[in-house]
Structure 1
Amino acid sequence: MRAKHVAMAAVLTVAPAVGAFTQDQPPSHVAKASVEAPVWPSNGVAERELGDGKESWPENMFVEHSNGRWIVWVLLSSNSDKSKAMDFFSGEIRDVKIKKFGGYIDSFVDSEGESHVSDSLLDFRCKEIGPGGTIGSVVFNVSTLRFNREFAYAPILEVSQRISPDGKAVVWRKVPLFNDSPSDSPYSEWASFISRGMDLHDGTMLVTGGRYVFRVREDDLTPVGHASHLHVVEEDQVKRIIDKSEKSDIDDAHGFLTDELHLN
């Protein structure tokens, strides 16, 4: 069954959006009483890159509703009042000035002096995921898979899982693999720790890992379109590869994982 959709009328009466990583953070903008339900572009893009994933990375996300258009802004991590903001769906990147830094950011001023504020009227929340963080029925980074042999460098892989509607069963456990090596590197370095996430209220969500932002489905974690750097693998399959590595004469765990999953 595809993602469970929450039915929305064309016009919804909703609570003000919460502009923070936690539910207790007050909104930065007073919401109106109603708003049209969001319709996200179907452009086949489910992956964007922002920063290098080492020195800078996608750190904040917020939704702007302006002139009837819904925009998801992804902001680059910054130690000053200057940063970059990317419109996820169009891929446009702007140089921006932020009003505060060191915490959640839900507004900025672009290079043309135009202000952009989290004024969406539906309840969009950018969450800092961490171990055991949830979006909808998906729980991220619930456990870790490690190669048992001593390698000079081996991936540490985080497992995510989906819980049944009644909360009593685990529907699946998967590893959302993404290539965390530098963009100009010929080698693959696999990671799967999800850092941030935001529910888009249509059965899909945006999640960040390394330098990437992915749009995935809640029901099975697969990308909603093209995402060449994301590979969602069943936990049992990764476990079998780790077990096989114990009996193989290899010295590169990342390369072994690449070959076994046919990702090269």
Structure 2
Amino acid sequence: MASMEPEHEAALEPVGRADAVRLTEDLRVAIGEARQAAVVLAGRVRDAHRARVWVPLGYSGWGQYAQAELGISRAQAYRLIDIAESAGALSRAIGAAGVLAAVSPAGDTTGLVDIGLSQRALRDVHGWLDELTTVVTERLTTATRRAGQLEVPAVRAIVAQAVDEFRQGPLPAADNTAAEDGDDALERALADAERHPTDMRLVRRLVDEMAAAGGKLGQTALELAPAYLSDQEAADTVLARYADDIGCDVETILATRRYALTGDRRALEGTWL
């Protein structure tokens, strides 16, 4: 009867020191290339969002475009934008200190540099960019005055230390999205709330954006079915068909119409909110 004991591979023999050093350096290079590729990808996603590429391609919004064309969720797409914005801001801070050439990778065309930070770190500091970049520029400028031109490891160490300090602080207040259009503001608020579900400021911001979007939908419903019509008349006349056209239920459309009429968010409870 054959033995049921698992077969064990022969123990691996360690390589010599020279080979170990070479293999380790190869790993460092590969990790750096992968990290930089991720930052370049994030930059291209950011550029696509800024160009509103979903409009000429016929998509209803950024989230639908990201899912259909890139195979990623709306939240993932916004996380990549956060990474690009953080990397871009830190790259500019390094440049402002006069050390950009020391860390800019050859052939880079995105304006981003490999500063040795993980994607998670770049996402975490997105809400502090103004304060963080001021600190980074000041520290790099001071270090350059004292020691002359900084080597790449020194630049990365200074940036990493500043980033770590900010990551240990409290979650920043939600970004001001007043300048964003309604769809983008709502999508961004949803993505932020998904990333930090326990932060009540972000949750309240999401509720505010959803209410604002519901108000806009309600205004459209009012234009189609004026206020003198009862809910039943409005539904029978046009809103049932309108709800079906946009993939929504008629009760939600009627709730947003009532909200547009009264300005009372309680009209949305149980439907839109």
Question: Which TM bucket (shorter chain)?
Answer: under 0.3
Taking structure 2 as the reference length, the TM-score comes to 0.20
Q: Which has the higher contact order (CA 8 A, sep 6+)?
A: 1
With normalisation by structure 1, the TM-score equals: 0.20
- Rg (Cα) greater in structure: 2
Higher helix proportion (structure 1 or 2): 2
